[in-house]
Amino acid sequence: MTDAVPPEQVLGALKNDARPQKRRALDVVNAVCAELHKIGGRDFSVATIGRLSEQRGGPSMRTLYNAQSEHYRILIKAWAECARAAAGTSAGAAAKPLAEDDLLRRIPDPALRALFGTIVAERNRLRSEINVLRSHTNIVVDRRVLPGNIAVADGQITQVLTPGDRLLPMEREALARAISFKFLEQEGWREGPNGEILNAKGRKLFELGYGTAIRKTLGEQQD
């Protein structure tokens, strides 16, 4: 198997008979590929190079897929082979990006080819973002039931708390016991018709509304 031709040599050959505008476009594509190779990139697909090139004012992905843009694809392929050689892999073992390019080039309609190229590029971008999120995100779901009532209005979620929702369990138990029939009977007390607490002689120990106020705080239904 012969060694791959160095990309810079391929670039020089492609620029020999090219017009100034095409030479500048080739330089942009070459610079993008060179930087990608420098950081250890392996994705030299036309979709990726086209997207990066367009950001620098070079040929767009749609342009690179055109039949007249074979010279750009030759340069990209040279960089892809250089990257595979640097990684110590065979030409066939890492041909996935080029396989996508070959598939797209079989679509005869330029507009349809560009559309599918955009879809492939977007898929690759989303796949990369998902992999990053999977490696850096640890989601903890709190399934505890929130106190109070949850109200939803205009897309906003509001937690509505009553005084009783702020009570600790032992505080609720203490208040409930203070007005329970068993406790009052044990002390010789009773609850009057308006929530007041009376002793055995009918003397008022707690004011009107004492019992009803506690029940409202605890959220109990009133008769």
Q: Per the structure block, which two tokens stand in for 3?
A: 């060694």
Report pLDDT digits (tens) over 127-164. 777 776 776 656 565 555 555 555 556 656 665 555 65
| Range 73-79 average pLDDT | 92
Report pLDDT digits (tens) over 21-75. 999 999 999 999 999 888 888 889 998 999 999 998 999 989 998 888 889 999 9
pLDDT in the model for residue 87? 73
pLDDT in the model for residue 209? 87
- 56, 57, 62, 68: CA torsion to nearest 10: -120
pLDDT in the model for residue 75? 93
pLDDT in the model for residue 92? 43
Q: CA 65, CA 104: separation in Å to the nearest integer? A: 8
How would you class 201 by CB atoms within 10 Å of its CB: exposed for 0-12, middle for 13-18, buried for 19 or more?
exposed
pTM (predicted TM-score) = 0.42
